[in-house]
Homo-oligomer: A and B are copies of this chain.
Amino acid sequence: MKKFNFRNDYCSVGHNKILQALVDHSKNVYTGYGTDEETNKAAMLIKKEISNENASIFFLSGGTITNKVLISHVLKPYEAVISCDSGHINVHETGTIEQSGHKILTVPNYEGKLRAKDIINVCSAHTDEHMVKPKIVYISNPTEYGTVYNYQELSEISDVCKKNNLYLYVDGARLATALTSDYNDMDFSTFASLVDSFYIGGTKNGLLLGEALVVLNEELANDMKYSIKHFGGMYSKGFVNGIQFKTLFEDGLFYEIGKHQNELAKLLFTELKKLGVEFLYKQETNQIFPIFKNEIIKKIEDTISYEIWEKQDDQTIIRFVTHFNLTTNDIYDVVNMIREVMNDL
């Protein structure tokens, strides 16, 4: 591994409180497939967090299978999902939605976001049985570019969905960072009240693995466990998920990790700005996109791991992601290193 790791936020086993909880529960025996009391407690905590006792909570092992299960469960064979072109289901899930038989109808993204008016355009264009029938809208919060939806944007999308008889589903792989973003203006309950379903990412927020699928629209929850098994997402040791999510929501660890990740990204963004570094978008959550001259890239690429976002002529846009086991000192160290490289040129 390189000295500084900003490639992603799923790079270490798990938060020590999560690991400790697993160790603490390791002498017990549980019933399988999420029927145990730990899973039940985790679900109760989440329902309390979103102030909705009628929500249904299902625990799965990863984000891609969670997206697949929810979308495939609610769609009839000829129905389609609307996503912006940069949506994770559209680009980086190797066609799992299509594997279930459904078309993804794409619209251009706007800083990673989907706009309400584009949903209307898609609906207007799909008028008869010679085309697929749009039935669900997929967005991510935060988006693939780390941006977050504010209340007005999400409300508009929610309204358009209701008017057009569409479900609204949110991929929350990094939801903790959205809810604790400086740019967020919704509490968790308000967010949940605007959508039919969303998932709470655990893998990118301190867990060994695990995502919590939350279904608000009761009609969609019916028979969900059949779909979870049918599409390959059933997890026999459900209690491993249950113990982790219970720990995440017992004392605010969920928000604590999200906030920590955001603060490190903000610090990194601010310090690099001071060095004159420009960015593709502003910092809203734990993903930032600095633009470096290629001569700088050459000097840092052996020390820092990151993802290349876009190669341009003499500069490169890269992605830095902060994660739970980085500290403020790590940020200052990497900034100092970059400062030296820039000064040397």
Q: Which of B10, B61, B225, B230 contacts A77 (CB 8 A)?
A: B230
A117 within 8 A of B: no
Q: Can you list 10 A-B contacts (CB < 8 A)?
A: A8-B32, A12-B29, A13-B237, A22-B22, A68-B232, A78-B95, A78-B227, A92-B130, A94-B226, A96-B230
A133 within 8 A of B: yes
Assess the A229–B98 pair: CB atoms within 8 A: no
A102 within 8 A of B: yes
Q: How large is the interface on A (under 10, 10 to 19, 20 to 34, 35 or more residues)?
A: 35 or more
Assess the A240–B92 pair: CB atoms within 8 A: no
Chain B: minimal CB distance from A220 (Å): 12
Q: What is the CA–CA distance of A63 and B33 in the complex, to the nearest angstrom?
A: 13
Residues A95 and B68 in contact in the complex (CB < 8 Å), given A1-B29, A19-B26, A26-B16: no
* New A-B pairs, 7, CB < 8 Å, besides A13-B26, A208-B208: A8-B32, A8-B236, A12-B29, A68-B232, A77-B100, A99-B232, A129-B234
Chain B: minimal CB distance from A85 (Å): 10
- Which residues on B sit within 8 Å (CB–CB) of A234? 62, 64, 94, 129-130
Q: What is the CA–CA distance of A230 and B228 in the complex, to the nearest angstrom?
A: 16
A31 within 8 A of B: yes
Assess the B13–A22 pair: CB atoms within 8 A: yes
Assess the A230–B12 pair: CB atoms within 8 A: no
Assess the A77–B68 pair: CB atoms within 8 A: no
Chain B: CB-nearest residue to A233? B232
A123 within 8 A of B: no
A319 within 8 A of B: no
Chain B: CB-nearest residue to A130? B92
- Which residues on B sit within 8 Å (CB–CB) of A32? 7-8, 10-11
- Which residues on B sit within 8 Å (CB–CB) of A305? 31
Bits for A221-248, please: 1 = Cβ < 8 Å to B, else 0. 0010111111111111101100100000
Bits for A1-42, please: 1 = Cβ < 8 Å to B, else 0. 100010110111110100100110111111111000000000
Assess the B8–A28 pair: CB atoms within 8 A: no
Bits for A86-97, please: 1 = Cβ < 8 Å to B, else 0. 000001111110
A132 within 8 A of B: yes
Assess the B7–A31 pair: CB atoms within 8 A: yes
Chain B: minimal CB distance from A36 (Å): 9
Q: Which of B16, B31, B225, B232 contacts A96 (CB 8 A)?
A: B232
Assess the A129–B30 pair: CB atoms within 8 A: no
Chain B: CB-nearest residue to A228? B129
A288 within 8 A of B: no
Which of A33, A130, A225 is packed against the most chain B CB atoms within 10 Å?
Answer: A130
